[in-house]
Amino acid sequence: MSEARPSEAEQQETIAFLRALEPCAQITTHASQVFLYPAHALKLKRALRYPYLDFTTPQKRIADCERELAINQRFTPRLYLGLRRITRAADGALQLDGAGEVVDGVVEMLRFRDEDLFSRMVEEGRATPALVTKLAGVIAGSHERAEPATQGRAQAFGHVLALNEAALRAAPPVAQERIEALTGRLREAHARHADLLDARAARGCVRRCHGDLTLRNICLFEGEPALFDALEFDEGLATIDVLYDLAFPLMDLWRLGARGHANLLFNRYLDARDEADGLPVLPLFMATRAVVRAHVAATLAQEEPERLAEAQAYFALAEALMEPRAPMLIALGGFSGSGKSTLSARIASELGPAPGARIHATDRIRKALHGVAATDKLPQAAYAPQISARVYALEREACAATLRAGHGCIAEAVFDRAEDRAAMEEVAQALGAPFAGYWLDAPVEVLAKRIAGRRGDPSDADEAVMRAQAARGNEDVRWTRLDAAQGVEAMAGEVLRLTSRSP
């Protein structure tokens, strides 16, 4: 692919100059050279051309640096310090921001710790559920602030698929027949969902997003998740469905084996933004993101052969994400403190299409109904029978919508009333979806101890509420009973084993 690098040789003097400024580490990406100094970083655009960008002249590279600054200051302004011009002095030496001829330009950023990259935190097991929940809020907030766009309809996503196909053929990571098979499945899924993509664009779901939201472009900055290095070289590639933006970190988490975190990010994002109508295209979006990383790694492998295995792994992930998985509805009931939320979080990533089941919990639905945060405490009046009936009805409506979208879901509630259990079963029956109901049993003293240890939990139930529930009994429950005192792993193993036998 020699045409991709028509002028990189001219940058060798610039690269040597940047290396010599002060001790630094150097990172090469498909489009940039990044120089990491003790307190700051300089990012140089590589003098190359791909099907989707052209950095072959200093003027084009400097203009792109200016775009990068303007765009990223929308996300994390304190991280970006400005544009530095590399100039040539009268004696021929290179300088930063001198008065001579402009040779190139670099973006200057504050340096953050390498270990604060989300990719590193996930790989090393340091990413906590609380941090992933915060990240969901940051991404949802960035989408809320982004302006809706008129472009980005189904035809625009077809352009993305075409660019990916061209890049895969230019630097194939796998045999050609696998490329043809996968790209054919992606095109078929795109055609099947074209009307949905257009409808989502019409209702404002296409926005000027980050566009390159890999976990390597998310860091912990000043104690909070921060998005950086947004896609700047092509407005069309960054003006996308918000779920296609979200699909990048979801895919990355899936790839790294952090599927529970992927499902958590997915659920907390959908709690913040109602994008449930887009569930049918989420596996397509995630697979396409994996293809993007596959062809980027395959291109880098031309210079760094060890990157080929990475490209092949991304490609295999895309193939797996496009494998159909049937949706089903699982209902979890039990008295307060029995571990329903813990079990939901543990099994959700294993159910239905990626990134796993949508969890519909009455505790969260009730808080949303009253317009408060999930961890805010509600007054007792919010638990009046008529309000609880409304909450259970909303949960059934949400489960039905999720199943109609072809996605799996978990209904989480006390479910101590037979009519509520029957009504949830009827949701699955009406839509022809498999159903499984589980009742979590544990001694009252175990439940009391768990409730006492709760911190930042959406449930407002205290020990008195739980004991009142238990006093009403559960002898009429016909759902499969689980021993909730045995711990979440044992329960999850039993549920997933029984679920695998479902038709």
The answer, yes or no, to whether residue 152 has pLDDT greater than 80, is no
Mention the CATH class of domain 118-321. alpha beta
Nearest to 321 by CA among 286, 368, 356: 286
86 has a pLDDT exceeding 80: yes
Task: Give the pLDDT confidence score for residue 455 in this predicted structure.
Answer: 87
For 329-430, list the strands marked E by DSSP: 329-334, 358-361, 409-412
H or E element, residue 108? strand 101-110
Q: Taking residues 102-129, what's their average pLDDT?
A: 95
Rounded to an integer, the average pLDDT of 214-224 is 95
Residue 256 phi, psi (nearest 5): -80, 5
- How many residues are present in the chain? 503
User: What pLDDT sits at residue 30?
Assistant: 81
Nearest residue to 10 via CA among 103, 131, 133: 103
Q: Would you state the pLDDT for residue 473?
A: 83
Is the pLDDT assigned to residue 210 strictly greater than 50?
yes
Pairing of strands 435-441, 329-334: parallel
Measure the CA–CA gap between 460 and 458, rounded to whole angstroms: 7
> Could you tell me which residues come within 8 angstroms of residue 280 by beta carbon, excluding any fewer than 6 positions away?
193, 196, 405, 406, 407
So what's the pLDDT on residue 7?
60
Q: Is the pLDDT of residue 2 over 70?
A: no
Hey, is 279 helix, strand or coil?
helix
What is the spatial distance between Cα 294 and Cα 99, in angstroms, rounded to a whole number?
42
Domain boundaries for CATH 3.40.50.300 within the chain: 329-500
Q: What is the distance between the alpha carbons of residues 131 and 499, in angstroms, rounded to a whole number?
A: 30
Query: What average pLDDT does this structure show over 183-192?
Result: 97
Are residues 107 and 18 in contact, defined by beta-carbon separation less than 8 angstroms?
no
pLDDT at 500: 77
> For the segment 35-78, what is each residue's pLDDT rounded down to a tens digit?
999 999 999 999 988 877 889 999 999 999 999 999 998 899 99
Cβ-count burial 195-206 (b if 16+ within 10 Å, e if not): ebbeebbeeebb
Q: Which two tokens stand for residue 81?
A: 């310090």
Q: Where in the chain is the domain with CATH 3.90.1200.10?
A: 118-321
4 phi/psi in degrees, rounded to 5: -75, -15
Which CA distances in Å does 494 have to 59, 60, 486, 500? 62, 59, 11, 10
* Res. 503: pLDDT tops 60: no
Provide the b/e sequence for 308-345 (b: ≥16 CB within 10 Å).
Answer: bebbbbbbbbbbebbeeeebbbbbbbbbbbbbbbbbbb
* DSSP classification of residue 350: G
Instruction: Work out the angle between the directed axes of helices 154-170 and 194-202 (0-180°, nearest 10).
Output: 120
What's the mean pLDDT when you consider all of the chain? 93
Label residue 502 by pLDDT band (50, 70, 90).
low
Taking a C-beta distance cutoff of 8 angstroms, is the pair 192, 139 a contact? Answer: no
Task: For the domain made up of 329-500, give the CATH fold.
Answer: Rossmann fold (3.40.50)
Residue 151 pLDDT: 64
> Does the structure show a pLDDT above 70 at 220?
yes
Residue 422's SS3 state is helix
